[in-house]
Amino acid sequence: MRGWKTHHSPSASARVSSCATTSRCCSRTLGATGCTSRTGRAPWACSSMWIRWRWCEARRAICSCGRTMPGRTRSSSTSSTTSTIRVPTEPPTRAWPWRAAPGAGSLRCSAPTSPTIDGTQSAEASVSRSRRKSTGCWTVCALALLATARGAGGVEAAAAPPAPAAPAPAPSGLMRWFDPATAPFIPIPAIDTEPHSGLTLGLIPTWLRTSERDEIERIIAPDLIHSQYFGWGSHMRVLSYPSADTQWYVVGGLKERVEREFDGRYLTGLTRHGAVSWSVEAIYDRSGTQRFFGLGNQSVRGDETSYINNQALLDAVFGHNFTPRLQLAYKARVRYVEVLPETLNGLPSIETLFPTLKGLGSEHELQHTALLTYDTRDSPIIPRSGVRYVVYDGFVSRALGSSVSYTYFGAEARRYLPLGRDVTLAWHVGARYMPSAGNGPFWALSSLGGDRSVTNEREPLRGNGFDRYMDRNMFAGGAELRTRVASFNAFRTRVSLELAPFLDAGKVFAALGGSPFTHLHTAVGLGVRGVASPFVVGYVDIGFARGKAAVFSGLDYPF
């Protein structure tokens, strides 16, 4: 066809002149035929001018490969180039896939990128662009011309999509164990270095069952472990997430010596869309690594003692939902606790240093608690925004069958503030007071230490082990910046990796009128979390306090 024959590469000035001529030609062509979006007719429907129109488009494709000229602007969000020269009519309704590459002075052609998805572009597209060579422009433009010439033969012709690449064969034999898509289970290493538990190593083969939406519905996770203190052991875990409103789990295990455990819990009404929410939990736990350092905010490590904590409890919670945000609940707890002597790792047993401490031996209690909760979080498990405020009051009385007696009240506030699509600032503050704890056992006192905030029980201080500081009253707070740094498909679900630098602070004190803001203990550190929305969070938190490190791992956020 005339006008397509080329000889030597034109100079820059000749190319600019040619482009201007082409622009005027195409303007006259489209304007003369009325083949514009104003008429509602696509240009390729005008058969009398079809070949000439395709020639114009081909020439425009070649012009787009030239150097960026004054009068052009670029859109960084889509890597596109927009000419400031306007034709008298609106552009055709069909979009053409060849546009100038974003680098100034580039001689490349680049295909338009797709609209940004959640603020990011495809990594594959970025890699492809980085590997292009400038000499490839003319190859791409030549293919555009060939496609245009081939399409000129008929109005229904369309460029055929490229043939899909053949899928890679699935790994077989031993290699399938190292591919998340084909592995029969997830081999998770068990490494526990919690400050009071000693070193525990093992393997947790984990099976996941996912829904049609690629959300985890069930986790089955047995393990085989070896404890520094108690020898070989094993656990069985089944965690189920049948819906956003209902969850349940069962965990049981034992070791060669001393330790046994069972924990089963069922919760329903989590979304609070119904009138009632309730839960029930049964626990038996025989732990051989409990510590006691004495009472008060200034208890010293030199007074560290150990004991065996043998306890069983049954919790039942019934809540009336005034709205999905406002709930009034009653919690009843029946608990039996036995504190037994033990010498662990050269530490003295608790009764040798604290023989008059209330709570040694065996005790039982019936605990009554009323809780008023205001909750606007977007998720009770993986919150990104909202607040949770709780106030509570409760008592244990010998008059109602308990062997001990005490009262308590407190409040807790949690706030989740999104700072972007991938960043959430989470903070919490909690306080607990015990006005009449004179007859209360030490294990019922307010506690500071460990990695978890438990309403009406303890607050975290992730540079120390559980129950590091204990007394009647407690105040604590903390914050962490949860930042999503990666997201990928693994084990038939979507997994996000989070990094969360954190700060914990708090104190315990005996007097009701004592200041909660002086002589605070602090801990700083970094949390590494794997998040499988909407139900599962696994974490490893590394905290530092007074020059020593503590490592914690488990499920769910600390608060």
pLDDT in tens, 422-432: 999 999 999 99
pLDDT digits 0-9 by tens, 24-62: 444 444 444 444 433 444 444 444 444 454 445 444 444
pLDDT tens by residue, 317-358: 999 999 999 999 999 999 999 999 987 878 999 999 999 999
Domain ranges of the chain: 12-114+131-151, 186-555
Q: What's the distance, CA 49 to chain centroid?
A: 57
Question: Over 80: is that where the pLDDT of 471 sits?
Answer: yes
DSSP string over 82-109: EES---SSPPPSS--S-EE-SSTT---E
Q: At what angle do helices 50-63 and 12-33 cross, to 10 degrees?
A: 150
212 vs 442: CA distance, rounded Å: 49
Domain 186-555 has CATH 2.40.160.50: yes
| Average pLDDT of the segment spanning 540-557 | 90
d(CA 100, CA 200): 59
Q: Which residues make Cβ contacts (< 8 Å) with residue 312, sequence separation at least 6?
A: 283, 284, 285, 335, 336
- CA-to-CA distance for 120 and 139, rounded, in angstroms? 29
What is the DSSP annotation of 418-469? E-SSSEEEEEEEEEEE-TT-TT--GGGSEEE-BS--BTTTEE-BTTS-TTSE
pTM of the complete model beyond 0.75:
no
Helix (H, G, I), strand (E, B) or coil at 273: coil
Name the token pair of 350: 């608790």
Quick: pLDDT tens for 418-466.
Answer: 999 999 999 999 999 999 887 899 999 999 999 999 999 999 999 999 9
Q: Which region among 125-129, 273-277, 310-314, 511-515 has the lowest average model confidence (pLDDT)?
A: 125-129
- Tell me the mean pLDDT in the region 259-282: 96
User: Which helix H or strand E contains 47, and what residues bound it?
Assistant: none
